[in-house]
Chain A
Amino acid sequence: MKKLWVFIKKEAIHIIRDKRTLMVLLIMPLAQILIFGYVITTEINQARIGIFNKANDYAGYQLVNRLAASGYFKIGKMIDNPEEMEASLRKGEVRMVVVIPSEFGKRQAESSGVEVQLVADASEANSAQMLVNYARSIITRFDAENGLSGRASEIPVTIETRMFYNPALKGVFMSVPGIMAMILILISAMMTSISITREKEYGSMEILLVSPLKPWQIIVGKVAPYIILSFINAVTILLVGIFIFKVPMEGSWWWLTIINILYILLSLSLGIFISTVSASQMVAMFISLFALLLPTVLLSGFIYPIENMPVLLRWLSSIMPPRYYIQAVKSIMFKAGSFMSIWKELLIFAAFIVAFMALSIKNFKVRLS
């Protein structure tokens, strides 16, 4: 036991002495979440829109007020004719125009249906899509509150489920679990795989092998400090998310911690596995980056919704551990989920851990080559 403790201590010294890497490891998660939170914000704030109100009735004004009161939009211009609308959009005076049809109030009350037109400047495709989505959801809600119940609105109601649990439509909410999934797997898997292969490269592994240290002691000693480091990262991201970006935390901290620990263990075991198949730090790093980072970002549902993926990619995404992590964390944080809502994910984590560890132990060589 003393041997293991000494080994862990030595490993911790490696990490602490390498100030530059340590800073990167500690600051990277913060930088990531701030970038996602502020820069690549998927949130709309006071976007200038135009109103082409053909109705000029009470219901029409009510809708305009509702749009303005949402905080997402700022009514920049009242528009009187289609030419003016086009000109304003082209000049960039407004990013979207809401066209309220004539007799809006009256037709809304009837079952004949009514069409509110949203005309957006699609030169910035993403933000146009976002504006339209936001406006749609406001209009739909307005419609549901004021219109006749039980009748289908002409405005297609295509609110994504994620908006459902994210009523403020704040994008940064979505990125917190995603960033955690990415950072944790990257730090845990990449750093452990690099630190094990480094011993191989420097030749110190030869000495460790001829020592009475058992393979499991070498492995546990190598990964233990990274458990702590990863955990610190998880906590930082969560704190920043909750206190700076006001991400809701509805569920149990207890389950959230368990999810994180299991996910970190999973990432570490993956890192160990990578190290057993790569001969040098360089190889370990490339495997980690290409096998972990890109799939995490692209296939976990973090950035691109899984529902929109082609079948093959959807199938691939189902073997990506980050996907389950993101699901589980969202379930706990946003939906106040209980054990019943995450047991499947936890089980999947456990299965991954067992598989990676078994493969690693099978691959770990007590001799060279």
Chain B
Amino acid sequence: MKDINTSAFAIEVVDLVKKFGNFTANDHLTFNVRRGEIFGFLGANGAGKTTAIKILCGLMAPTSGQVVVAGYNVMTHPELVKQNIGYMSQKFSLYEDLTIFENIRLYGAIYGLTANEIRQRSDTILRKLGLLKDRSRLIKTLSLGWKQKLAFSVAMVHHPKIVFLDEPTSGVDPVTRRQFWELIYEAAADGITIFVTTHYLDEAEYCDRVTVMVDGHIKALDTPAKLKKQFNVDTMNEVFLNLTR
């Protein structure tokens, strides 16, 4: 097993295959994600994205291949993988009927932080977001934008090495959305690896590198700029349409 400190990669996937009966959801995927990279993982519905992410998060075992996440093999040490990753989805993030602090405390406790650590980290999060006075507000009274920003911070409360984001900014207003990406940039600058899955291609534009999955294969893996150049188009949307049609 590799130690994370000696590897430049937060995620290493070699020849990942996942089969469900005769159906091959992931067909020999190979890719690496650098530490501190914002990595976009794209694909149409049913392209095998969800399966791959479940495997990366240690929720599902691959049929064959080697998957190392945060320095741990997902086959042999799924629990250690889970300790070292954070997850945030647009569909579910925080408990609406708990207060801001109660949510932070809950997630802190889930990841085994002490009461002291939780208090410190919650102060840090709330100060950064300018929500110090609002720690006892119920989540449901917050606007969607605030919820998203808070959810991202909560997903990192245990200082994970990698954060998985599922369509993190879909539906929020353009200004809030940019504030959110700033949070992501900042986290990446601190060395946290950001793994973004989305089918909104404008979210892909913000990533350092993106992969496009089609029918269980990786069809492309490069920086958005190079991909756009390769297909001679202006947007990732067009790149995507070129690759999948």
Q: Do chains A and B touch in the complex (CB under 8 A)?
A: no
